[in-house]
Amino acid sequence: MSYQFGRRDFLKGLGGMAGLSLMGAGAWRTALASQMGSSEAWQQASGTTLQFISENTPPTSAIAANLEPFKKLTGINVNITEMQLGALVQKVALDFGSGRSAYDIIYADPYQVVAPYHQGLVDLNRFIGDDSLPSIPKGVDDFIPTQLAAAGRFGNREELYTLPYDCPTMIWIYRKDLFDKYHDQMQQDLGFAPTPSADTTWEQYYQIAKWFNGDTASEVKYGTGHQAQQYDSLMCDFSNVLFAYGGDYFANGQQVGLIGTDDPGPCQLENDASMAAAEFYRKLLKIAHPGSTSWDWTGVANAFQNGEFAMMPEWHEFAGSLESSDLKGKVGYAPLPKGPARSANLWGGTGIGINANASEDVQKAAWLFLVWATSPQTQLAGLKSDVGGGTPTRQSVYDMPEVKKASHPPTDMPNMLTADTMLTAWQDDHIGLRPKIPQWNEVDTVIFTQLSKMLAGQQDAAQTMKLAKQRIDRIVGA
């Protein structure tokens, strides 16, 4: 069970970054040759056929639509199988357990694949240090550091099981046109500047939401909407507040989220910070659009696009579809508000790795694909794809002049309007990371089940956190 399928499938259905033109195969191949060089190293596995299993995501859609540059560069054929993440996890687990390699390249979700099955993936350091193979353009240090650790490592900072492939992250998305129109009135009524900033708190977010619930702004019915359905989306929405208040699911939460562990220890949801976060979240959802408890990420995005409310915590990749709707040019993007501890923006990215059951020759061929698929030029081409394409996971792509230009309107890369926000959201003190533990699916279910009961008025915040802790402690053996 994962938030990723519904959200990304929605984006894919809307055309992802609609209206963009895909770089032609010839131009892409020329750019790649210039960036990576053209040598016998790239042709050493010519004639090989690789099997790549992936969740149906925008980056994979873009790559699948134009594999010709990779085939020209390497002589390798790649068959791509795309599916819902839950089905992918089952197939990968069976493949690892069989000792065979039906899938050579794995889209490896950190929580559902890397944490429980990392021993089935190759440590990529084996190829990074092999002079006979092409190296990673600009090195591993070009990947956003928090993403490299969260997507690729487990248990320690030495082994690397995947390269960062995509990076959806929750941010504050709001109706900039309405915030501008009513700025002076809101500031007078509220006593603070309403425009989202690094100083805006969750309590101020609550006050802004209440203001929009009034009669002054006729354009929207409510101030805020949330993905608070009894589902993984509810855990995601709540986690932003939990981390901002200084709460967490386990001790050393950032370490557990970045590196992962088999033994996270006792759940921390009964501490004072976690309790305060739950009580605030309950209060916030009481004034939110009443449809919030029936929405996941797709539902809340649709309602926002239809003018139901003025702001929401939402995955940044929805910018592509919002900027292709009637709201084009009317939407603003910012890091989520801060709590007593910090601003926290939940990250939901994934990496791609190599099946350790594959033969040595196939593993080397798969390495060529990993290097190519995560290269700056391929990520840039994905940004321009008309069938999808994810947000870059490399600093060098954000530093490209054409990408910098696209981060401000008018733009032909609408997801890049979030670029400044994202580069802040991925910093160590802003990124929000759920626990990377083998038992995460069961823990996740406990969290959203208990929160849903709280929002329905069946139990208060203290009871909710107590019951969640008791159940989670049993799951992880604390």
Model pLDDT for residues 278-319, shown as the tens digit of each residue: 999 999 999 999 999 999 999 999 999 999 999 999 999 999
pLDDT attached to residue 93: 95
pLDDT attached to residue 177: 98
DSSP symbols for 333-366: EEPPPB-SS-B-EEB--EEEEEBTTS-HHHHHHH
- Burial (CB count within 10 angstroms: exposed 0-12, middle 13-18, buried 19+), residue 95: buried
pLDDT attached to residue 122: 98
Q: How far apart are CA 97 and CA 79, in angstroms?
A: 22
Examine the pLDDT at 341 and tell me if it is beyond 50: yes
Q: Is the CB of residue 227 less than 8 Å from the CB of residue 314?
A: yes
Q: How far apart are CA 216 and CA 179, in angstroms?
A: 12
The arrangement of secondary structure in 170-346+432-476, i.e. its CATH architecture, is 3-Layer(aba) Sandwich (3.40)
Q: Is the CB of residue 69 less than 8 Å from the CB of residue 28?
A: yes
pLDDT per position as a tens digit, 202-234: 999 999 999 999 999 999 999 999 999 999 999
Average pLDDT over residues 367-374: 98
Dihedral of CA atoms 354, 356, 360, 362 in degrees, nearest 10, equals -40
Examine the pLDDT at 158 and tell me if it is beyond 90: yes
The 8-class DSSP code of residue 325 comes to S
Q: How far apart are CA 354 and CA 313, in angstroms?
A: 34
pLDDT per position as a tens digit, 323-333: 989 999 999 99
Dihedral of CA atoms 383, 86, 362, 375 in degrees, nearest 10, equals 20
pLDDT attached to residue 28: 47
Instruction: Give 37 or 203, the one with higher predicted confidence.
Output: 203
Report phi then psi at 408, rounded to 5: -130, 140
- Break the chain into its structural domains and give their ranges: 3-168+348-399, 170-346+432-476
Q: How far apart are CA 12 and CA 300, in angstroms?
A: 17
Same fold? 3-168+348-399, 170-346+432-476: yes
Tokens 């409310």 belong to residue: 309
Helix/strand/coil for 164: strand
pLDDT per position as a tens digit, 184-199: 999 999 999 999 999 9
158: its two tokens: 């030495």
Burial code (b: 16+ CB inside 10 Å, e: under 16) for 415-452 equals bbbbbbbbebbbeeebbbbbbbbbbbbebbbbbbbbbb
Element (H, E) at 432: strand 431-432
Q: How far apart are CA 471 and CA 263, in angstroms?
A: 16
Helix axes 25-36, 360-373, angle to 10 degrees: 110
pLDDT attached to residue 327: 96
Q: For residue 386, what pLDDT band results from cuts at 50, 70 and 90?
A: confident
24: its two tokens: 């032609």
What class does CATH assign to 3-168+348-399? alpha beta
Examine the pLDDT at 94 and tell me if it is beyond 80: yes
Mean pLDDT of all residues in the chain? 92
pLDDT per position as a tens digit, 268-279: 999 999 999 999
Q: Is the CB of residue 110 less than 8 Å from the CB of residue 356?
A: no
Helix/strand/coil for 222: strand
pLDDT attached to residue 30: 52
Q: How far apart are CA 477 and CA 473, in angstroms?
A: 6
Tell me how many degrees the CA angle 194-197-201 measures, rounded to the nearest 5: 75
| C-alpha pair distances (Å), 60 with each of 42, 102, 116, 128, 136 | 21, 18, 23, 23, 19
